[in-house]
Structure 1
């Protein structure tokens, strides 16, 4: 379902390529510019900083490191080429043609290990949650964690079940509360792999929670979880 979105205004440096959420005219054409929302998340477990280009324009202004997120940018709808490079270099690590529909929002995750870095684009269901509810989606972006479940601590059954690497759930309803804790559990053994503690879940908000990192490491790329609000 297409909905009206209020995407963030792009800074001047990105104006020409990514577009502006307005009804500007081009060469006298009265048709409004068609835009889509594009959010970028660095979920590749590497200490390398990256640059991300939409067509030929760099989308990140600051360092784009593991765990970083760029809130919705306004991108021209249609076919857009997204390219990832190592910071300051031009050699492509990966590149993908994205098909963006007008008025829709998308989250694009940079995923997998540095040697096999990839892009995962998810369409965001930004329809308002039901009255008195929030919405949340779970994405498994850990290359070596196996299939995972998402549990709201103190509630059964698990909120989301059996998501392998690069798999994700639909958005599901969740009760808002000042403090909600989440367990990410191994699907096979039921063991708790990591926990997010005392997360504020607000009425009417939309969230994505994702597993990230590597179980095989103990550095900054170690296994964990992150959550963000779609805004």
Structure 2
């Protein structure tokens, strides 16, 4: 009987130690950005405008969030991220770090991180996305993401929207009537048309960003394209 009591006591001791170990492991796990009771979460995505970065993705600290890989002229889906100061890293498909930036992320806000430049001089800059919808209207803004273009104009058909925008300029949103539009990019100095988007149908209550992607670079000449992505 005495030996049986010792055996039961030993079992309880081992069980207690095991439970403590499990609790310690659970406490060390980093919660997901959308976990209840956390510091709040923001949303972010990658927009790839580089001609030679290839298919790239964002990786947050400790790989809490990873976007899908996107090629030139494309944007990933939004992912959750912890609110607060975050280090955002862009990697190539092979895992090479292309660019990195630290940025303050506010809870319940949406961000696009634009990868620009060419091999050896990639850069990453954040844009706080406009997601506030307007009933009966669409909203359009312009992000000038071509380092090969010092000044850029953007028009919708024959209607001028933004003029003389330098590299990394982020315009305010303008309201437009829903419908089909073709956007045109022109040189802010010479007014020569450099690229046109495909016809895009803008929907009421939706917000859109028009951005420049560089398709190729040869010496001082670059082939540019206009791309349109929704923010809400």
Q: Same fold (TM over 0.5)?
A: yes
| SS of match in other structure, 1:56 | helix
Deviation at 1:142, TM superposition (A): 1.4
- Give the 3 Å change call, closer, same or farther, for CA 215–32 of structure 1 in structure 2: closer
Which of 95, 98, 120 is the matching residue for 1:93? 98
Does residue 150 of structure 1 match 2:154?
yes
* Rounded Cα–Cα distance in structure 2 between residues aligned with 1:172 and 1:160: 10
Match of 1:176 in 2: 178
Quote the RMSD (CA, aligned, Å). Answer: 2.3
Q: Deviations over 1:63-116 (max 9, x none)?
A: 432223112111110111111233223x53322112101111111111111211
Q: Which runs of 5+ in 2 are unaligned?
A: 1-28
| SS of match in other structure, 2:204 | coil
Structure with more of its chain in helix, by fraction: 2
* Rounded Cα–Cα distance in structure 1 between residues aligned with 2:131 and 2:31: 21
Q: Give the structure with higher Rg (CA).
A: 2
Contact 1:17 1:55 (C-alpha < 8 Å) held by counterparts: no
- Give the 3 Å change call, closer, same or farther, for CA 67–214 of structure 1 in structure 2: closer
Deviation at 1:33, TM superposition (A): 4.5
Contact 1:77 1:101 (C-alpha < 8 Å) held by counterparts: yes
Q: What's the TM-score, normalizing by structure 1?
A: 0.78
Q: Deviations over 1:133-185 (max 9, x none)?
A: 11111011112123111111133xx11111111112111111111x2111111
* Rounded Cα–Cα distance in structure 2 between residues aligned with 1:208 and 1:145: 18
Contact 1:196 1:225 (C-alpha < 8 Å) held by counterparts: yes
- Give the 3 Å change call, closer, same or farther, for CA 199–97 of structure 1 in structure 2: same
Which of 169, 172, 179 is the matching residue for 1:167? 169
Match of 2:8 in 1: none
Q: What's the TM-score, normalizing by structure 2?
A: 0.78
* Rounded Cα–Cα distance in structure 2 between residues aligned with 1:65 and 1:34: 30
Q: Deviations over 1:2-21 (max 9, x none)?
A: xxxxxxxxxxxxxx768354
- Between the two proteins, the alignment pairs up a number of residues equal to 201
* Rounded Cα–Cα distance in structure 2 between residues aligned with 1:125 and 1:148: 21
